Structure 1
Amino acid sequence: MIRLIFFAALLLHQSFSLRMHEKFSWKYLDYNWPSLEHRTFALSRGLYQPENNIILGVERWKNMLFVTVPRWRLGVPSSLNFIELPNWEKSPRLNPYPSWEESSILPYPTEATIVSTYRVQVDKCDRLWVIDNGVDNLLDQPKSIVPPAIVIFDLNRHQLIRRFVLPQNQLKNDTFLPNIVIDSSKYNCEDTHAYVTDAGSFGIIVYSFKKNKSWRIQHSFFHIDPTAGGFSIADTYFTWRDGVFGIALGHLRSDFSRDLFFHSLSATKEFVVPNKVLQNESLAMSTDPAHGEFRIVGDRGPGGHSATEVFDKNTDVIFFTQLAKDGIGCWNIQTPLNEYTAVLVDQDPIALIMPVDIKLDDDGYIWVLSNRMAHFIKKQMNFADYNFRIVVAKASELIKGTFCDVIYY
């Protein structure tokens, strides 16, 4: 039986052309400037350097598709942006959010300014949550503009709700905050929690909207696997040492409890912990919090490195990026997790090179962003070619014929 599963999985892995629909693609990024004069001025002063702009995060809300452009190098005019939907352009220009005035870090940022963000999420109460790392020119000569903060916007009014500066004692020398995931219910918007992953210092910062307070959780499962730090992507070889990165929230129960699945970037194992454990502030004072509540789920197998993941309650499936396989994987949480049940649902050596973010919208569509980050970091991007892509597919259609589809198995 195991042999049959193995060979079936192998066939699935080898038979792909791109199944997801390519929604947008860019050779380089540009913006909807207030005027041509503004763009010309920004280019002349180095305030806009197209080669230094890379999309890193994506999120959809109604007729807006948010995309993030971290200020990793100089010349990024706006870090938090959106595209109006529907949009039939192949390479649409980006609109700064919440406005051009509040996207600039010069001469100084406002409360609503996002200096540099990687990934964002919209909650069930139509609020956009942003983790602002607050640093400009990170890859070359880092300059702290503002302290790291959680920034929340009301999307119905397009207004800032709150900017919560993370306490200094919850940040470490190697802190790197790549992801934010929101635990909310439309029936109880006040009692919302945000989970911010610290991949550099192996922790999760938990923020309570109701208490307007945060605390830090440490655990050995947040660390890297020292044997899984090597990556080979698009003939580029490099080593990463990023810990806890991806989070997916399971089914919401009547008491608002749910499982929180998570994994490190430089690892292939998946873990789970009840959300109530992270929401218990007293555990943050423990050197080894709730050890029995943290459990290993399984292992995606060799080359199963993943950045982000998302859970689809309608199919019981967790979708996750597969960095080293140029693809998107899936796992049905009703089955054991191993290298045979964690299967690829799509794979493409061009459209899915370095898939770094994945989101599920309210209509059941999976959105995936790929960006050739390995080439960007080494300044080897070819701007005559398409470098950034956003692809989309219905989640239920994407798993058809795979082990993630309950009808299939």
Structure 2
Amino acid sequence: MLKFLLLILTLYSINATLIFEWKTVDLQFPSPEVRQRMIEDQSFITEDINIRRVAVYEDKLFIQLYQARGAPLSLAYVNLTDTSTKSPILIPYPSWSAHFDTLEESRLIHDVMAIRVDRCHRLWVLDRINEGYLTHHALIIFDLATDQIIKRHKFSNPGYRIAMAIEDANCGDTYAFTSDDYSGDIWVYSLKKNETRCIPGDKISSMIFTSNSIYYNKGKDVFYVATEKLRKSANVKDFERKSDISADLLISALDTKRNILYYANKYCECNDIHTVCWDATKPCDRHDWRLGNYTTFQVTDLILNKDTLYVLEATLSFRSEVQYKFHSVSLTEKL
């Protein structure tokens, strides 16, 4: 009991800047007529538009949406510089037509499972495609300067991929690593060669990349493997445990500049953000945080962009007027 009380007392309440909040999430349609028609045939139901994860690039906030009957698309964006409203309408990315086609197989985007922005000004999209009884996936890579597709690669085998990490030290020779939640395999994609290869591995539900290694969870323990081994070997067995850390990487952001891993417990119905020194041999100025007094909200995503930590929260209460909150926390200021 004493340890529990000490934990509560060491949680710092921070004044994060509220950027957006949504009571209901609405979409930008090609016309009012299209919107009304989709409401009538129930292919658009506002209650089915639920935010899953986010990514930030310059003044754009990319938003991944859950696939549902009344959710006609799964990838959109809003402008972070738009101060005209706290509840902006979501704009389909890269366009409305990318999510719709008369022929299902001709659609560009089906059901987005993961999004990542790399340092080379590209958006990586892991898309899920249901084909009868099988589920396939594709990687779609966008040039964020033009919003045009650089590459689209469809995986040859069915599966259920939910985690993705990008190794982008070399913009011309970038690698994507995706995990298959069913088989436990890791799939390595080479942008330069435009090909994938499979490596048997553990079941991985979350990944982060740093220091030439992929880090992932097994329980709360953190394991890692060098990406060079994943790129070159057909059977990697030397996954090592990072013994100085116990943290949930599913909702996390790594700040190598400050040697801090920010993370939230996915099983905690709270809006606490925990911190730990990533390299235990080096000092870090860490404090666990609580986002104000919003006790009916849960942290669902953390994104680090330069010196700003972005936080997405979702309500835990059916009675709450606000469904989602999106904050920013300046890491250059004294917290």
Structure 1, unmatched stretches of 5+, are 136-141, 224-243, 252-257, 376-380, 401-409
Q: Which one-letter code corresponds to 1:294 in the other structure?
A: E
Give the match for residue 237 of structure 1: none
In the alignment, which of 266, 271, 274 is matched to residue 223 of structure 2?
271
Q: CA deviation at 1:348?
A: 5.9
1:329 equivalent in structure 2: 274
Match of 1:226 in 2: none
Aligned to 2:62: 66
**Cα distance per residue 1:66-85 (max 9 Å; x no partner):** 001121x2021221100012
Partner of residue 387, structure 1: 323
- Which whole-Å CA distance do the structure 2 matches of 1:161 and 1:17 have between them? 43
- 2:158 is equivalent to residue 158 of structure 1: no
Report the AA paired with residue 207 of structure 2.
I
Q: CA deviation at 1:278?
A: 1.8
Aligned to 1:353: 297
Counterparts of 1:74 and 1:184, CA distance in 2 = 36
Report if aligned partners of 2:173, 2:191 keep a CA contact under 8 Å in 1: yes
Distance in structure 1 (CA, Å) of the matches to 2:292 and 2:182: 29
Whole-Å Cα distance in 1 between the matches of residues 134 and 37 of structure 2?
23
Q: Kindly provide the amino acid, as one letter, of the partner of residue 268 in structure 1.
A: K
Distance 1:349 1:77, change over 3 A: farther
> In the alignment, which of 7, 10, 13 is matched to residue 12 of structure 1?
10
State whether structure 2 residue 307 is matched by structure 1 residue 371: no
Shift of 1:359: 1.5
**Residue identity in the other structure for 1:26:** W
Distance, in Å, in 2 between the alignment partners of 1:17 and 1:151 is 39
Q: Distance in 2 between matches of 1:250 and 1:23?
A: 28
Shift in CA distance, 118/351, structure 1 to aligned 2, threshold 3 Å: farther
The equivalent of 1:246 in structure 2 is 206
- The change in CA–CA distance for 1:45 and 1:28 in structure 2 (over 3 A counts) is same
Q: How many residues align?
A: 329
Query: Which of 126, 129, 138 is equivalent to 1:134?
Result: 129
| Aligned CA distance change for structure 1 residues 6 and 382 (closer, same or farther; 3 Å) | closer
Q: Give % identity.
A: 23
- Provide, for residues 100-151 of structure 1, a one-character-per-residue CA deviation record: whole Å limited to 9, x for no partner: 111225443546x22111331111111110000124xxxxxx9679831111
- Structure 1 residues 321 and 202: CA distance shift in structure 2, 3 A: farther
Partner residue, 1:227: none
Provide the rounded CA distance (Å) in 2 between the counterparts of 1:365 and 1:191.
28
Which is helix-richer, 1 or 2? 1
The answer to whether 1:307 aligns with 2:307 is no
Shift in Å, 1:158: 1.1
Establish whether residue 193 from structure 1 lines up as the match of residue 167 from structure 2. no
Aligned AA (2:75): L
- The Cα shift of 1:160 comes to 1.1
**2:75 & 2:293 partners in 1: Cα distance?**
28
Within 2, Cα distance between the matches of 1:397 and 1:143?
52
Q: How does 1:223-262 map to 2 (within 5 A)?
A: 223=203, 244-251=204-211, 258-262=212-216
Preserved CA contact (<8 Å) 1:133 1:148: yes
Q: Which 4+ runs in 1 deviate beyond 4 A?
A: 5-10, 142-146
RMSD: 3.1
2-structure distance, mates of 1:353, 1:391: 13
8 Å CA contact 1:351–1:389 kept in 2: the answer is: no
Question: Structure 2: where are the runs of 5+ without partners?
Answer: none
Structure number having the greater strand percentage = 2
Q: How does 1:80-119 map to 2 (within 5 A)?
A: 80-88=75-83, 89-104=85-100, 106-108=102-104, 110=106, 113-119=108-114
Asked if 2 retains the 8 angstrom alpha-carbon contact of 1:120 and 1:179, the reply is no
> Which residue in the other structure is 1:209 paired with?
191
Q: Compared with structure 1, are the counterparts of its residues 218 and 368 closer, same or farther at alpha carbon in structure 2 (3 Å cutoff)?
A: farther
Residue pair 2:254, 2:261 contacting (<8 A) in 1 also: yes
Determine the structure 2 residue equivalent to 1:28: 24
User: Which residue number corresponds to residue 74 of structure 2?
Assistant: 79
Aligned CA distance change for structure 1 residues 371 and 204 (closer, same or farther; 3 Å): farther
Contact 1:25–1:91 under 8 Å retained in 2: yes
* 2:136 match: secondary structure: coil
SS of 2:13's equivalent in the other structure is coil
**Residues 246, 309 of structure 1: 8 Å contact kept:** no
